[in-house]
Structure 1
Amino acid sequence: MAASSRLISRLTLVTGGGSGIGRAVCQRFASEGASVVVADRNEESANQTLELLSRDHKGQGHLALGVDVSSKDSVEKLVTSIQFMCLSCFLAAPPSVCVNAAGITQDEFLLKMEEDEFDKVIEVNLKGTFLVTQAVSKALVSAGAVKGSIITVGSIVGKVGNIGQVNYSASKAGVEGLTRTAAKELSKFGIRCNCVLPGFITTPMTDKVPEKVIDKLTAVIPMGRMGEPAEVADACAFLASDDSRYITGISIEVAGGLFIG
């Protein structure tokens, strides 16, 4: 539940907004007053998210667009389109908030994983985060924006690894490193970059996991349950708002205490 209207007049781009964590982020941001661009490779899913977004704040407008985050041309077209589309009160403006939530899994044991299974996950999760972060930050700098917030969605397994996810773990470790470097480079332009590290969250990705595996996972989570997408969205909303205006280059774990050091 949104506790405030911290994001009024913020134009926000959310990749992977068609489902799971990305959809929850779109809903949370809209409830706090942001105008949201829902971007997803699956345009049907993006439009389904669009229908769920609140429009209770004056001047608020939302939009759904297709994007393949692993394609530079597709990402650049997306950001250019946003700047030259009239979205409610916004015209010719880049998004001041960006949440990189697009991601995929192709799980397999290291000894059995095919090269293309590794490459595809890296292309979407890591390269995609790079391309979107680069395009949005370039647009903000060119527009002379005084501030911006770029949020990346990593994973707790990027820190500790996970059996059967050598590609996913590597991609998410890379996302965290990318975020810290981007924070150092972009701070002088007023752009903050932070990373959220979800633990095991109930999403379409985890729907594929057998129930007995879920039971084993929840048994080792100190809080005793899987997380909800909305709980990750809560952290993203904080990092997007001025409540975190002096925070950049950090990672917030949303994992129920999993892998506490």
Structure 2
Amino acid sequence: MEDAQVWIEKGIDFIVTFGPRVIGAIIIYIIGSWVIKKLIGALRRVMEKSNYEESLKRFLMRLLTWALRILLILVVVDQLGVDVTTFAAVIAAAGLAVGLALQGSLSNFAGGVLILVFKPYKIGDLIEAQGTIGTVRLIDIFTTKLATPQNKLAIVPNGAMANGNIINYTALGQIRVDTVIGVDYASDIAQTKKVLMEVLTSNPRVLKEPAPTVNVMELADSSVNFAVRPYCKPEDYWQVYFDTYEGSKLALDAAGIEIPYPHRVQVQK
């Protein structure tokens, strides 16, 4: 009986000593969780109004959520009477170790944030970067995914993207298609320019503004080369490129204008 009485007294002392702390910790946790939920909701509304990129929005909300939850846990632990200095030191040391181990990833992360904030390109843009040409399919926080003209998926680290040169073929809404057509030296230049211009103006994918151009580009060894340069929408680039060469060949043939090609001369012995 005496042992039971002792345990009962110890239990009462524990409840009296730690009961208010535990109740206070529970109340702090409940209120803190409610405040975190409200803050995250307010952040989401602000980002939606500011038209943030979806990837950046998700990342920032997750980052803030975890930071607030860690802070709330530290406050709850402190309320229970546990020294949080040790926990803070452990978290700081872990953060430093992770940062040193993931320097490359952090560089990609920083690059991703810069890309999502300053928007040098967006999903659907045709870009050239890091030696790769492709259409942007996804902008993640660490990488950018491009679909190449060969329908291959290229995954490029955002650190390299943010620190390198980027050519955005879509940003201006139009792109020039550079082609070169060579004709025989005996061909009439004015007639050739007229025929090639008709090829461009008859193509519905070629823009009227800026106007296409046809100019003598080079007097080569065996041909007079014309710079044939139509403008089109970025998504029509390859079709206009192919149409220009095919249409030029057919039109020049119909006009009797020869396109030079190597001739083999057979020498009889």
Q: Confirm or deny a common fold (TM above 0.5).
A: no
- Which bin holds the TM-score, normalised by the shorter protein? under 0.3
**Taking structure 1 as the reference length, what is the TM-score of the superposition?**
0.22
Higher RCO (CA < 8 A, seq sep 6+): 1
Of the two, which has the highest radius of gyration? 2
